[in-house]
Amino acid sequence: MHMKNIRHSWAEPYKIKMVELLTMTTAAQRKKALVAAGYNTFLLKSEQVYIDLLTDSGTSAMSDRQWAGMMLGDEAYAGSRNFYHLEEVVQQTYGYKYLVPTHQGRGAENILSKVLIKKGDIIPGNMYFTTTRLHQELAGGKFEDVIIDEAHNPESEFPFKGNIDLDKLDRLVKKYGAKRIPYVSMATSVNMAGGQPISMANLKALRAYTKRHGIKVIHDMTRVAENAYFIKEREKGYKDKSIRQIVKEICSYTDGATMSAKKDALVNIGGFLAVNDWDVFEEARNLVVVYEGLHTYGGLAGRDMEAMAIGIGESVDDDHIRARVGQVIYLGQKMIEYDIPIVRPIGGHGIFVDAKKFLPHIPQEQYPAQTLAAEIYLDSGVRTMERGVVSAGRKADGSNYYPKLELVRFTIPRRVYTQAHMDVIAESTARAHLTKHSP
Ligand code: P70
């Protein structure tokens, strides 16, 4: 036996105390369920699903400490002690000065957009996200994509495909003038690009550029810890820094943030808006009362804020994030071994399979990504999300939009599934390739 190259595996920094039993279905039951759902995995009932990879949002397993924190909920209408705990954790972990809790990420996006955007403003960003862009548009702004070109190419191995192209940004500033650009909408771990990170060097350059032009940087920090992990792994000078340090440095180059705590921060519901500018905070605090709730609870119960405060602390732990992203990479590598074409490099929150390439005999008009998602569910009860023609929606005349990318997203909930589940997912996906589809 060769003892030289024994690998150092990552493993979960926790053990399992309680389990949720799953329904095991037969192929006949799955077929019936799929037909009833119109072959749309979104319309399946959760009970009919074995391994649910629809999203990593709100699907995390909370720790024993988070559950214990739920019992410490102070359900006062105003000034709950859980709010002050959360405020302290946000200030210490991310460095932002002022906190406004919201029921989830889009609640924060709504308020922030209303405070900062005027009619006719331009909002440059590193790729759109559906809810973020919609709130920018509802507030009267127009989103402009300034992500680097590599982000649009699923085969590019560029390590920081979330980077902002400063030349593209500069062209917008020259065209519209800095006065019409209230802020750059910068996301860490760019979701629609496949969970791709932005580099610290790019962020520093962005900060320097925006400072010169008096433009703010607003951070969609939904998956900031996962981005920090890639900086630690891939960027020079960060190997010996902790995730906590890297996260705080990222935030230091920005003026404020919106957060969906349902992802990185390991809670089933919750979010917030955090800013450094007192005037922006004051306006946001006035608006949150209208849309979410008083500024010391923002639509959340005291217990939700406590679970979030504890979850934020756990999310920036080095061992946690190594195991979290390690599991996603494990699944991605299995897929690569089976010759399944996936978006490269492997991102932080899931695997994106290129359905056009995987099922080349199915033309885009016949929904290759939707077909693949249905096929995988039929085979094993694994639920994935279509990110192609169907998600892109239809034009006013009822005809389809045909997006360049036709993907199936396998989003991995945090601390929920095991390595054996990952094996089942990869095997089931590989088998879908073998099914013959009649044209
Ligand atoms: C997902 C979820 C939510 C999200 C996000 C980023 C980068 C903000 C939000 C909003 C849920 C989702 C939402 C719309 C369409 C599909 C899926 N992403 N920024 O599964 O936060 O959901 O808390 O309001 O990823 O990717 P919230």
Residue 131 CB–ligand 1 contact under 6 Å: yes
Alpha carbons within 13 angstroms on the beta-carbon side of residue 254 total: 29
Ligand 1 touching residue 189 (CB < 6 A): no
Q: Give the CA distances from residue 328 to residues 15, 18, 386, 412, in Å, rounded to whole numbers and listed in that order.
A: 19, 23, 18, 7
CA gap 220, 135 in Å, rounded: 13
Pick from 109, 128, 129, 258 the residue to mutate for probing ligand 1's pocket: most ligand atoms within 8 Å of its CB: 129
Helix 200-213 crosses helix 166-176 at what angle (to 10 degrees)? Answer: 20
CATH of domain 64-315: 3.40.640.10
Positions of CATH 3.40.640.10 in the chain:
64-315
> Which residue has its alpha carbon closest to ligand 1 atom 21?
105
Residue whose CA is at the smallest distance from ligand 1 atom 15: 130
Every domain of the chain with CATH number 3.90.1150.10 lies at 3-56+318-437
CB 106 near ligand 1, within 6 Å: yes
Pick the CATH number of 3-56+318-437 from 3.90.1150.10, 3.40.50.300, 2.60.40.420, 3.20.20.70: 3.90.1150.10
Which atom number of ligand 1 is nearest to the Cα of residue 411?
Answer: 20
Please report, in tens digits, the pLDDT of each residue of the chain (439 residues total): 667 788 888 899 999 999 999 989 999 999 999 999 999 999 999 999 999 999 999 999 999 999 999 999 999 999 999 999 999 999 999 999 999 999 999 999 999 999 999 999 999 999 999 999 999 999 999 999 999 999 999 899 999 999 999 999 999 999 999 999 999 999 999 999 999 999 999 999 999 999 999 999 999 999 999 999 999 999 999 999 999 999 999 999 999 999 999 999 999 999 999 999 999 999 999 999 999 999 999 999 999 999 999 999 999 999 999 999 999 999 999 999 999 999 999 999 999 999 999 999 999 999 999 999 999 999 999 999 999 888 888 888 988 888 888 999 999 999 999 999 999 999 999 998 777 554 4
Q: Give the burial string for 129-150 (b: 16+ CB within 10 Å, else e).
A: bebbbbbbeebebebbbbbbeb
Q: Which of 224, 338, 218 is nearest to 275 (CA)?
A: 218
CA distance 95 to 83: 16
Range 207-219 burial, b when 16+ CB lie within 10 A, else e: bebbeeeebbbbb
Residue 228: CB within 6 Å of ligand 1? no
User: What burial class does residue 403 get, using C-beta atoms within 10 Å of its C-beta: 0-12 exposed, 13-18 middle, 19+ buried?
Assistant: middle
Q: Which atom of ligand 1 is nearest to the CA of 106?
A: 24
Establish whether residue 222 lines the binding site of ligand 1, counting it when its CB lies within 6 angstroms of any ligand atom.
yes
For residue 347, the one-letter residue type is G
Q: How far is the CA of 435 from the centre of ligand 1 (A)?
A: 32
| Distance from Cα 28 to the centre of ligand 1, integer Å | 33
Hey, what long-range contacts does 359-363 have (CB within 8 A, 24 or more apart)? 359/432, 359/433, 359/437, 361/437, 361/439, 362/437
* Segment holding 187, helix H or strand E: strand 183-187
Query: pTM for the complete prediction?
Result: 0.96
